[in-house]
Structure 1
Amino acid sequence: MSPRSLHIHPPFRAEHIGSLIRPTALYQGRLLFDAKQCSKEDLRELENEAIKAVVEMQREVGIKSITDGELRRAIFFQGVFDNLEGFKGLNRPIETCKRYIPHIAPHYESGTKEIATFFCDGKIKRTKPFYVEDFKYLKSLVAPEDVKNIKIAMGAPNWIHQRHLSKETYDLSIYKNDDEFFDDLGVAYRAEIAELYENGCRHIQIDNPSFCFFCSESMITGMKNDGQDPEALFDTYVRAMNLCTRGRPEDLTLSVHMCRGNNRGMHFAEGSYAQVATKLFNSLDVDTFYLEYDTERAGDFAPLAHLPLNKVAVLGLVTTKKPQLESIDEIETRVNEAVDAMCKGDQGRSRDQALNQLCISTQCGFASAWQGNPVTEDDQRKKLQLLVAAAKRIWGE
């Protein structure tokens, strides 16, 4: 596979991860829908109006990439497994989940008995799209020349597997091993990516918090105590992602977003990227890495020295977990620290090259789950405006 060229636009210098706070009318509509007091059609009308509003908000603050805020989703990965033939949604005993998975541990601690999840009991087939219709609606809201700036985010292929591991994820009479399982998932993802591309999509972001979980000492220890090989599982997940992104067109940007938890302002893991950076940056077949960097729990910028010259790192320097506003000076200082770290690697990278490989963003979305984070719509707007202002100072664009 020949190396791909450096992709900068998209992403743009100032980015956000994708999910946005639900406007009040949609929030109330979702409450009614979950209480079975509102039809799916009524909810969709509220979603349509809310998406129009968040598209306009992104224009107003100067964010050039456009998302629908994931406003049609209850949680960030909705739309993949629930649309794939071969998967069924069900409530399962919490014991089917691995206790050491960072976002599962709190369920054990709180006494949760069951968890909503999926099980693969048939051959995986993509018989209907994940997000193509969502993209078409979003496309209808922007000028033709701006369609290329739309970003679609989707959950990672390993999200359910990392909760349960093999025998609790798929029927062993259907798939004998993880390679077979992820091979078919890869076919489904590639079909979705191809149809999105045919409709004009040029930036797809895969949200994969699992990679950050491998930075967590508690998870690594838990896996080893459970007889699991962390490095082998990490390799399995890199392969699963690469099956999805394989063979994409040159002008389609594929990115991965990683964080340590963001559900309603909570985080689930800590640990530096140093434990995974070399393999992740060099083996994962994506153009762009969206990296959480809003607090010390993500470690320092030293791992960025391993970033190849043809890839982009988007530094998540602005938090979505609390309303306090970062400063432009602080953001600029941290970008310069990242440049320093990148120039210490063995890539022979100049400061100008390093700066050209960086962008800035929020550390995660504002609403990984529909209930949102402990920030308001006004807080959200101010943080996006801050990103744009900081990008203009640092890069002049």
Structure 2
Amino acid sequence: MSTLKLNPPFRVEHIGSFVRPKELYDLRELLEQGKCTREDLIPAEDAAVKHVVKLQRDLGLGSITDGDMRVFEGVFDKLGGMTYLPHRPMTEFKPYIPHVKILSAMGMTESPTWYCSGKIKRIVPFYVDHFKALKAVVPPEDVSRIKINMCPPTWIHQRHGSDLTYDPAVYKSDDEYFNDLGIAYRAEIKELYELGCRNIQLDDPTFCYFCNEDMISGMEAAGVDHEALLDTYIRATNLCTADRPADLHIGLHMCRGNFRGGIHFSEGGYHRIAVKLFNSVDVDTFYLEYDNERSGDFSPLKHLPPNKAAVLGIVTTKSPKLEDAQALKARIHEAADVVAAGNPPRSKEAALNQLVFPVDFLVVLIIFCDFRLCISPQCGFASVWQGNPVTEEDQKAKLQLLLQVAKEVWQ
């Protein structure tokens, strides 16, 4: 039986983003209005990163992120071969994609994006500077706790499909496009590892979109083979994570949308994709949203293989309302029952008795056989700069609730 990587994810973890401080928020508004420059934000971003790092360390979180305090800088804005299109018409976005449908209904007629006009090549790092900046504000013994959140390889393709993502004179197929993209990602991951990074999270709503029945119907009407496309996206992810060092942990966070004010884009349980997802995607941990009924039930967890971890996002970041501790504990036991009855089966008593680690905070591990379940917020507290309708105090309260629940269940 294959074993689970234990180092990381940390027993104390979170998804990544935190609400921006007012000074940075105000500057970001000015930037959007063209009243300041990108460089004007840097001092406020640096101060915000230091603040959120201290917040995470004071709370006792095992992993450390920059809270997504910097203006979004991903992969496609830095890749050679990609052309930025600031006003691409919405007619060139696939209408069946959940967020495209919603944004179009809101009246958007164009949106910024990228187009692959040449051979993809990593000419500059994507996240290396972010890692170095974090490394500079944590003690040396905490460098291995730093987590880098990455834009997924599917980001552009899921919006534009095989016909509008790349120039057919450059790439003749999705396989060719994702082959070169995988080379670029692996080079980035290699450099991050050499600098000391041991924890990477791909933030990808694409897989959850395949749980959405409206999208599936729209793809079928458009003549798109959604099962084949799902396989293509699994392969694209695996090209990026292939051949990584044994002590480098990679997680996949599947988001249903965390737009302005906490708006979601998609819904549907994991039943449609669970077998392929849990058994074919080459990552160590799945961060799963389970904060409300649109996420479905825990039954797909029966397909979780022995060498994977699942993080149950059972606390919402979309509302300041604090969850009930007893209800959270009941959900943890419900999920444990499902995994314990999976393959290989374990009794509930055996599952709960096979705990081998003490509980620290936030992501809590149930160890039975080689399975591991964890708990966390369902998403970041501010996936876009405008943030969710929560304050910093709300964030702390929700994290402290998770600590309380963890101690009551496992200690």
TM-score normalised by L of structure 2: 0.92
**1:26–1:43 contact (8 Å) kept in structure 2:** yes
Q: In structure 2, how many angstroms separate the alpha carbons of the residues matched to 1:326 and 1:141?
A: 33
**1:15–1:387 contact (8 Å) kept in structure 2:** no
Of 232, 237, 240, which aligns to 1:236? 232
**1:220–1:230 contact (8 Å) kept in structure 2:** yes
Q: In structure 1, how many angstroms separate the alpha carbons of the residues matched to 2:247 and 2:22?
A: 37
Q: In structure 2, how many angstroms separate the alpha carbons of the residues matched to 1:69 and 1:395?
A: 28
Give a deviation string over 1:330-368, Cα, whole Å, max 9, x none.
222111100001122232345246922011111011111
Matching residue of 1:87: 82
**2:11–2:62 contact (8 Å) kept in structure 1:** no
Matching residue of 1:302: 299
Unaligned runs of 5+ in 2: 355-364
Q: In structure 1, how many angstroms separate the alpha carbons of the residues matched to 2:289 and 2:82?
A: 31
Q: RMSD between aligned alpha carbons?
A: 1.4
The range that moved more, 200-209 or 8-17, is 8-17
What is the CA distance between 1:374 and its match in structure 2? 1.1
Q: In structure 2, how many angstroms separate the alpha carbons of the residues matched to 1:394 and 1:359?
A: 12
1:1-397 matches, within 5 Å, as: 5-74=3-72, 78-90=73-85, 91-264=87-260, 265-349=262-346, 350-352=350-352, 355-356=366-367, 357-396=372-411
Matching residue of 2:362: none
Q: In structure 1, how many angstroms separate the alpha carbons of the residues matched to 2:407 and 2:251?
A: 23
Unaligned runs of 5+ in 1: none
Matching residue of 2:361: none
Cα 1:152–1:252 shift into 2, 3 Å? same
Q: Which residue identity is paired with 1:335?
A: I
Helix, strand or coil at the partner of 1:88: strand
Moved over 3 A (4+): none
**2:2–2:306 contact (8 Å) kept in structure 1:** no
Q: Which residue identity is paired with 1:384?
A: L
Helix, strand or coil at the partner of 1:112: coil
What is the CA distance between 1:41 and its match in structure 2? 2.6
The range that moved more, 289-298 or 111-120, is 111-120
Helix, strand or coil at the partner of 1:134: helix
What is the CA distance between 1:4 and its match in structure 2? 6.0
The range that moved more, 65-74 or 224-233, is 65-74
Matching residue of 2:358: none
Helix, strand or coil at the partner of 2:156: helix
